[in-house]
Chains A and B, each alone.
Chain A
Amino acid sequence: MIRFIRARSRIITSLAMPFFWLIFIGVGFGSVVTEMNYINFLAPGIIGMIILFTSIFSGMSIIWDRQFGFLKEILVAPVSRSSIMLGKVLGGATIAVVSALIMILITILIGFIPISIGIVPAVIFMILTAMCFVSIGLIIASKMKSMEGFQMVMSFLIMPVFFLSGALFPLENTPQWMQTIAYFDPLTYGIDGLRASLISHSIFPLWLDLAALLLFSTVLVLIGACVFRRM
Chain B
Amino acid sequence: MDAIEIENLTKNYNGTAAVDSINLRIKQAELFGLLGPNGAGKTTMISMLSTILKPSSGNAKINGINISYQNSVRKLIGIVFQDPSLDDELTGMENLTFHSKLYHMPHELSKKRINDVLKLVDLEGKSKMLVKTYSGGMKRRLEIARGLLHHPKILFLDEPTLGLDPQTRRHIWEYIKKLNKEEKITIILTTHYMEEADYLCKRIAIIDHGKIVALGTPKKLKSSISSVKKPTLEDVFIWYTGHAIRDYEGPELDNIRFRARLGWKR
Residues of A whose CB lies within 8 Å of any CB of B are 2-3, 6-7, 68-70, 72-80
| Contact between B74 and A77, CB atoms less than 8 A apart | yes
| Contact between B74 and A3, CB atoms less than 8 A apart | no
| Contact between A73 and B99, CB atoms less than 8 A apart | yes
User: Which residue from B51, B75, B77, B86 sits with its C-beta under 8 Å from A70?
Assistant: B86
A77 CA to B90 CA in the complex, in Å? 19
29 A-B residue pairs with CB within 8 Å: A2-B89, A2-B90, A3-B87, A3-B89, A68-B85, A68-B88, A69-B81, A69-B84, A70-B86, A72-B52, A72-B85, A73-B85, A73-B99, A73-B146, A74-B102, A75-B52, A76-B50, A76-B52, A76-B74, A76-B79, A77-B99, A77-B102, A78-B72, A78-B74, A78-B75, A78-B103, A78-B104, A79-B71, A79-B102
Residues of B whose CB lies within 8 Å of any CB of A are 50-52, 70-72, 74-75, 77, 79, 81, 83-90, 94, 99, 102-104, 146
| Contact between B90 and A3, CB atoms less than 8 A apart | yes
Nearest B residue (CB) for A65: B87
A7 CA to B71 CA in the complex, in Å? 34
User: Which residue from A3, A72, A79 sits with its C-beta under 8 Å from B81?
Assistant: A72
A69 CA to B158 CA in the complex, in Å? 13
| Contact between A2 and B94, CB atoms less than 8 A apart | yes
| Chain A residues near B50 (CB-CB < 8 A) | 76
Majority DSSP secondary structure for residues of B touching A: loop
| Chain B residues near A73 (CB-CB < 8 A) | 81, 85-86, 99, 102, 146
Instruction: Give 6 nearest A-B pairs by CB, closest first.
Output: A69-B85, A77-B102, A78-B74, A78-B71, A69-B83, A73-B85
B31 to chain A, nearest CB (A): 21
| Chain B residues near A68 (CB-CB < 8 A) | 84-88
B147 to chain A, nearest CB (A): 10
A2 CA to B87 CA in the complex, in Å? 11
Nearest B residue (CB) for A77: B102
Nearest A residue (CB) for B94: A2
| Contact between B74 and A7, CB atoms less than 8 A apart | no
A76 CA to B103 CA in the complex, in Å? 10
| Chain B residues near A76 (CB-CB < 8 A) | 50-52, 74, 77, 79
Nearest A residue (CB) for B75: A78
A101 CA to B104 CA in the complex, in Å? 32
B231 to chain A, nearest CB (A): 37
